Amino acid sequence: MPQALKLTILAETFAVSKLDKGVPVPNWASSGGWWSVTRTDDELSIVCPEVQVPTDAISNRGWKCLKVAGPLDLALTGILASLLEPLAEARISVFSVSTFDTDYLLVKTENLAATASLLSLAGFQILDA
């Protein structure tokens, strides 16, 4: 793991939504600054600011996002494991999103303070957006 890896807490509160695998990506999913859409053979998953998600969407709301400072070399190993281990030991659920450059961890809003504290103790720097 790179020394003093930094994580920034994004300002928005996010929702994780599930749509039917065959529907087109809705406009509300991609209208914010940070969003992620993943289509599989089974579903269409969307992570975006919760204020954009219609009330009738199947969603789990109230997630805060921590961005790992990047870009990270794709050959690096153990980055996610080093982040997830202290959270798993504390029984904090995480939804992760990875991109070419970096990783993002989403934790429920009520777990944000504990997450920041645990990751700080594990040697990570936690910054506000």
Fold of 6-128: VC0802-like (3.30.2130)
Amino acid of residue 85: E
Residue the block writes with tokens 């992570």? 47
How far is the first Cα of the chain from the last one, in angstroms, to the nearest whole number? 23
The separation between CA 41 and the C-alpha centre of its own chain, rounded to angstroms, equals: 22
The whole-number pLDDT of residue 74 equals 67
Contact 83, 125 (CB under 8 A): no
Give the chain's largest Cα–Cα span: 44
Q: Are 63 and 36 in contact (CB under 8 A)?
A: no
Q: What is the mean pLDDT of each run of 10 residues along the chain (129 residues)?
A: 77 96 94 91 96 95 91 71 93 94 93 96 87
Q: How far apart are CA 74 and CA 14, in angstroms?
A: 26
Instruction: List the domain boundaries for the chain.
Output: 6-128
Which pLDDT does position 12 carry in this prediction?
95
- The pLDDT value recorded for residue 25 is 95
How do strand 125-128 and strand 6-19 relate by DSSP bridges? parallel
For residue 71, the Cα-to-chain-centroid distance in whole angstroms is 16
